Amino acid sequence: QEVLTEVLEAFAEQAEDQEKTIKQICEEIEREELRRLVLEEGKRADGRQTADIRPITIRVGVLPRTHGSALFTRGETQALVVTTLGTTGDEQLLDALEGKTTKAFMLHYNFPPFSVGEVAPSRGPGRREIGHGALAERSLLPILPPNEEFPYTIRIVSDILESNGSSSMATVCGASLSLMDAGVPIRAPVAGIAMGLIKEGERYAILSDILGIEDHLGDMDFKVAGTAKGITGFQMDIKISGVSNEILRQALEQAREGRLFILEQMNAVLDRPRPHLSTYAPRIITLRINPDKIRDVIGPGGKMIRSIIDRTGVSIDIDNDGLISIASQDEKAAQQAIEIIKELTAEAEVGKIYIGKVKRIVDFGAFVEILPGTEGLLHISQISDRRVRSVADELREGDEILVKVLEVDPQGRIKLSRKEALKESAGKDVTP
């Protein structure tokens, strides 16, 4: 920029109104010299060799109240990446032609004007920001744990604080570190690198970790992200008619070497997910129930589930397949909610003794509630060892009695016995 300013000043009088032409000429000279240095001398704009990677500095846990954070700096490119964990209710809602769906993992890439020394209004994300965010998001998807193992909604936000090339790949590196700092059990760390190409005729050079000027004046921007074992995402922008298989092979091999070097730097700071989640992250416990029991947990008009939430202060999400997610900052409250749900959804077990409550008396026996909403028939012949002439002589509605489950037929009808329960419980403590 300083050279361009000097040239414009030198030709100010001779070439009035030719500023645009002078800038084009200077850029063409710059392009030719950059490409000549690379192809003939193996030197790049910042003095590196073709396969060299800029200095890397890494900090994790830089923001104290976030669930996970990382500051990844590579040369003059820096990304501040934050991971936030939420519940199922925080998933992104997507209304597509195929119908409504949800998304449990989101990555947002922000590229403010100040990161490249510009003063401009900050508006909504443009195509570039959306595209870079999508590439980084897809590069991280393969290493995320399945929802059954880690039932959290994950949102990552990457703010680019300075940029001189490869900010999307800095986002991938920072996001991987931020996830591990948050305690997300990812399968393996992921690093990303942007590869470039200078090609003149049959001569070519492949560049690792390209600068902004090398992206602008070069022939290729080939972003590759992956773990130590393989690639998780890549994208190629190319300005020439195509690349040969040999060039692509060399670019991938050089990218692998660069990726392993970056992973080594990352692992020196944090090589595995932290063993515990942040104290500020919600605690989520999952429980799977019989889908037929969902109505018992929800209750008429949602009365039961609201009661559980009011009593314990937790957040509850229920899937149609019977998977219940309970989120709370207080683990004791979450456990209390689980116990309530287990009581509501428990099913009668053959051979188990329960303390039941007599709900109705009929001529041939009594109906006894052994679990919330679950009743069984206690036949008159199973009330006592001795002959019982009338059920009312032995039982009253509201009585609490010991009963044993003898049978549950295919229709779900439960057969109970009081006399068998009394025999087995003699001399034993029976708790509900």
Average confidence (pLDDT) over 351-356: 89
Check pLDDT > 60 for residue 36: yes
Could you list the residue range(s) of the whole structural domain that residue 23 is in?
2-41
User: pLDDT class for 427, splitting at 50, 70, 90?
Assistant: low
Residues 6+ apart with CB under 8 A from 330: 283, 313, 314
Are both 60 and 159 inside the same structural domain?
A: yes
Are both 186 and 329 inside the same structural domain?
A: no
Q: Which residues pair with 110 in a beta bridge?
A: 159
**Residue 167 included in any domain:** yes
Average pLDDT across the chain, whole number: 91
Are both 68 and 124 inside the same structural domain?
A: yes
Average confidence (pLDDT) over 217-246: 96
Provide the 10 A C-beta neighbour count for residue 236. Answer: 14
Average confidence (pLDDT) over 371-386: 87
**Residue 75 included in any domain:** yes
DSSP 76-95: TEEEEEEEEEE-GGGSEEEE
Are both 340 and 357 inside the same structural domain?
A: no
pLDDT single digits (tens) 287-334: 888 898 898 899 899 999 999 999 999 999 888 888 898 998 888 898
- Select from 269, 293, 310 the last residue of a domain: 269
Are both 357 and 338 inside the same structural domain?
A: no
Query: What does the pLDDT read at residue 15?
Result: 64
Average confidence (pLDDT) over 402-412: 88
Are both 77 and 146 inside the same structural domain?
A: yes
Query: What does the pLDDT read at residue 14?
Result: 67
User: pLDDT class for 1, splitting at 50, 70, 90?
Assistant: low
User: pLDDT class for 136, splitting at 50, 70, 90?
Assistant: very high
Q: Is 300 exposed, middle or buried (0-12, 13-18, 19+ CB in 10 A)?
A: exposed
In angstroms, the CA 249 to CA 235 distance is 15
**Residue 430 included in any domain:** no
**Residue 381 included in any domain:** yes
pLDDT single digits (tens) 11-24: 766 666 777 787 78
Dihedrals phi, psi of 219, to nearest 5 degrees = -105, -10
User: pLDDT class for 429, splitting at 50, 70, 90?
Assistant: low
Are both 35 and 63 inside the same structural domain?
A: no
CB 128 within 8 A of CB 136: no
Are both 137 and 237 inside the same structural domain?
A: yes
Provide the 10 A C-beta neighbour count for residue 154. Answer: 24
Are both 307 and 207 inside the same structural domain?
A: no
**Residue 250 included in any domain:** yes
% of the chain exceeding 90 in pLDDT? 61
- Select from 345, 372, 389 the last residue of a domain: 345
388 vs 76: which has the higher pLDDT: 76
Element of type H or E holding 193:
strand 191-200
Average confidence (pLDDT) over 66-71: 97
In angstroms, the CA 242 to CA 413 distance is 72
Are both 226 and 102 inside the same structural domain?
A: yes
pLDDT single digits (tens) 141-156: 999 999 888 989 999 9
Are both 173 and 29 inside the same structural domain?
A: no
**Residue 47 included in any domain:** no
User: pLDDT class for 428, splitting at 50, 70, 90?
Assistant: low
- Select from 269, 300, 335 the last residue of a domain: 269
Are both 86 and 176 inside the same structural domain?
A: yes
Check pLDDT > 70 for residue 335: yes
**Residue 326 included in any domain:** yes
Check pLDDT > 70 for residue 182: yes
Average confidence (pLDDT) over 121-127: 87
Query: What does the pLDDT read at residue 304?
Result: 92
Winning range, highest mean pLDDT, from 86-95, 215-224, 410-419: 215-224
Check pLDDT > 90 for residue 259: yes
Dihedrals phi, psi of 39, to nearest 5 degrees = -75, -35
Q: What is the CATH number of the domain that holds 367?
A: 2.40.50.140
Domain count, the chain: 4
Number of H helices, E strands in the chain: 11, 19
Q: Is 227 helix (H, G, I), strand (E, B) or coil?
A: coil
Dihedrals phi, psi of 212, to nearest 5 degrees = -60, -40
Query: What does the pLDDT read at residue 170?
Result: 98
Q: What is the CATH number of the domain that holds 91?
A: 3.30.230.70
Query: What does the pLDDT read at residue 61?
Result: 96
**Residue 432 included in any domain:** no
Beta strands 203-208 and 191-200 are: antiparallel
Q: What is the CATH number of the domain that holds 311?
A: 3.30.1370.10
Check pLDDT > 80 for residue 356: yes
Distance of CA 266 to the CA centre of its chain: 20
